[in-house]
Structure 1
Amino acid sequence: MSQYTQSPQPQQPYAPTQPPGTRPARNGLGVAALVLGIIGTVSGLVPLLFWLAGILGVIALILGLAARGRAKRGEATNKGVATFGAVLGLVSLILSVVGAVLTYKAVDDVVKDINKEVAGSSASAKPGAATGGAAKGTADDKAADGTAEDAPDDKAVSLDEADTAVYDDGLEVTVGPASAYTPDQFASGHTKGNSAYKVTVVLENKGKEKFDASLATVDARAGKDGVNAEQIFDGKVGDGFSGTVLPGKKITAQFAFDAPADAKNLTVEVSPGIEWDADQWDLKL
């Protein structure tokens, strides 16, 4: 009788079993929040894309907060990515608001400029005002009231026989008569042997919006040949205009010009700014 011997079975390698109830990490929301947050932030840097930045920012913020909730419950392992995505979503929202404000302001400025061009509100002076060198102190022109705010040295400036250019938007430019002036010893712009003349200029804002006086310029030519009359600067004249003039207010500045000794007239040209036509006053010396 033969004896049967069973051969041993080969030992299987050890494989750890997955604990019951354990699921794979769900990191999709955090990654999506990060990607959308990055795109939204980049879009927010372009003001015209504020709408896209706002939409992506809202989605990234919601997904980032949801992903953080998963990480807290142990369902995801990318809590840092989710947090960063939510932060970028919030940044995108802030940039979208800033872009919307900038875009609205730019469009509003363009519309105002177009309206000014169409209506000609500030491009030229009204008919009958002192323009084109025709102002010579006639009775038909509007004279100044004899007082001026912001005058140098806090003194009232008399502008008798002055002429006023009245613009459509309420701005008024008044130039007084030329008077002889003696520059001090430290003055610049004055040539020995020439004569110096002082002119008072008043800008009055009778419109509804603020006026930037810093853009106003005053130049002059002297004599029948119209040679350039160099502006004189010293401790009393030459500061020019600066700052903003509120509606209902005015600002005064005094200018001095160097002219040939035999000059009989001084042509003063005032340009209130790039949106206004320049006007000229022909003053007798």
Structure 2
Amino acid sequence: MSQYTQQPQFPQGPTPAAQARNGLGTAALILGIIGALSGLIPFLFWLAGILGVIALIMGLAGRGRAKRGGATNKGVALAGAILGLISLIMSVVGAVILFKAVDDAVDDINKATSGSSASKEPGDSSSKGKGTGTEKGKSKDKGGESGTDSETLAAGDSAVYDDKLTLTASAPEAYSPGEYAIGHTKGNKAYKVTVVIDNAGKEKFDAALVTAEARAGKDGVKAEQIFDEKVGEVFTGTVMPGKKATVVYAFDTPADAENLVVEISPDFTHNPSQWDLKL
């Protein structure tokens, strides 16, 4: 009699489903969040753009996988794609803001380095002395020292700047330096020139940066500024709107000099102005 060994029978259950592949959606969400946060900083617009593109692509791919049943995080993938798109938009906005800020900064630097231009306003004939007049309204080149067609101002003429700051230099007057004067050489002649600052603008003007230089004669030798108990002071303090400030300069010139070119520089934002004064 044959004996058969019967194998135990186990109930058959359902086949386990394939493991969900949620990596794309999760990565899209993480990159989208980082990209959106980077977009809040205009300087990092490039990073927001790169992460935004990657997050958008991975989010759409993860959403497609979820539709096919290969993933279970359809919502996470969609959120990653949306954040990726937001990151792209913020990247564009950040780039525009940054480039605009740089452009404005460059314009400000150009304005500061080029200086404010000035127009010539001739004074009345009584104040010009031996100087020659100029036509009103000829403007100075922004970067240069002299006016249009290389002209300079004459005695009594005014340099009127765009901000309504006005500089006026008088005709030169012979001057006798004091016994202990600095800057005067024996045998040379000395002349004093009165410079007036008239602030007709709306902003106060810091006069501490005003400087004066001079050259004399046909060879344009440097005319030293003279300092003694009567002349040689400098502009100081602030000239408020509607107010004026006056300083008397004295310069040492060769005895045979027939002209004195005086250059006044208000500050770094205003072009220097020149007066060609006949001695």
The alignment's TM-score, normalised by the length of structure 2, stands at: 0.50
Tell me how far 1:275 sits from its aligned partner: 0.7
Is 1:247 aligned to residue 241 of structure 2?
yes
Is 1:173 aligned to residue 164 of structure 2?
no
Match of 1:263 in 2: 257
Match of 2:202 in 1: 208
- Deviation string 1:16-65 (CA, Å, 9 cap, x unpaired) is xxxxxxxxxxxxxxxxxxxxxxxxxxxxxxxxxxxxxxxxxxxxxxxxxx
Task: Map 1:155-194 onto structure 2 (within 5 A).
Answer: 162-194=156-188
Give, in whole Å, the separation in 2 of the partners of 1:164 and 1:197: 20
Task: Map 1:117-156 onto structure 2 (within 5 A).
Answer: 117=110, 123-126=116-119, 128-129=120-121, 136-138=131-133, 140=135
Q: Are the aligned partners of 2:116 and 2:270 in contact in 1 as well (CA < 8 Å)?
A: yes
Give, in whole Å, the separation in 2 of the partners of 1:209 and 1:122: 16
Tell me how far 1:122 sits from its aligned partner: 5.5
CA separation of 1:268/1:183 partners in 2, compared to 1, >3 Å: closer, same or farther? same
Q: Are the aligned partners of 1:218 and 1:271 in contact in 2 as well (CA < 8 Å)?
A: yes
- How many percent identity over aligned positions? 55
Tell me how far 1:274 sits from its aligned partner: 0.7
Equivalent position SS for 2:118 = coil
Task: Map 1:1-285 onto structure 2 (within 5 A).
Answer: 114=107, 117=110, 123-126=116-119, 128-129=120-121, 136-138=131-133, 140=135, 162-285=156-279
Q: What is the Cα-based RMSD across aligned positions, in Å?
A: 3.1
Tell me how far 1:169 sits from its aligned partner: 0.6
Q: Are the aligned partners of 2:176 and 2:190 in contact in 1 as well (CA < 8 Å)?
A: yes
Equivalent position SS for 2:208 = helix
CA separation of 1:161/1:112 partners in 2, compared to 1, >3 Å: closer, same or farther? same
Q: Are the aligned partners of 2:192 and 2:251 in contact in 1 as well (CA < 8 Å)?
A: yes
Tell me how far 1:140 sits from its aligned partner: 4.5
Match of 2:40 in 1: none
CA separation of 1:119/1:193 partners in 2, compared to 1, >3 Å: closer, same or farther? closer
Give, in whole Å, the separation in 2 of the partners of 1:269 and 1:194: 20
The one-letter amino acid of 1:242's match is T
Q: Are the aligned partners of 2:261 and 2:276 in contact in 1 as well (CA < 8 Å)?
A: yes
Equivalent position SS for 1:273 = coil
Q: Are the aligned partners of 1:213 and 1:242 in contact in 2 as well (CA < 8 Å)?
A: yes
Aligned pairs, number: 155
CA separation of 1:208/1:137 partners in 2, compared to 1, >3 Å: closer, same or farther? farther
Give, in whole Å, the separation in 1 of the partners of 2:270 and 2:219: 27
Unaligned runs of 5+ in 1: 1-109, 143-159
- Deviation string 1:240-283 (CA, Å, 9 cap, x unpaired) is 10000000111000000000000000000000001111011000
Tell me how far 1:193 sits from its aligned partner: 0.3
The one-letter amino acid of 1:200's match is T
Give, in whole Å, the separation in 1 of the partners of 2:132 and 2:268: 26
The alignment's TM-score, normalised by the length of structure 1, stands at: 0.49
Match of 1:86 in 2: none
Give, in whole Å, the separation in 2 of the partners of 1:268 and 1:242: 19
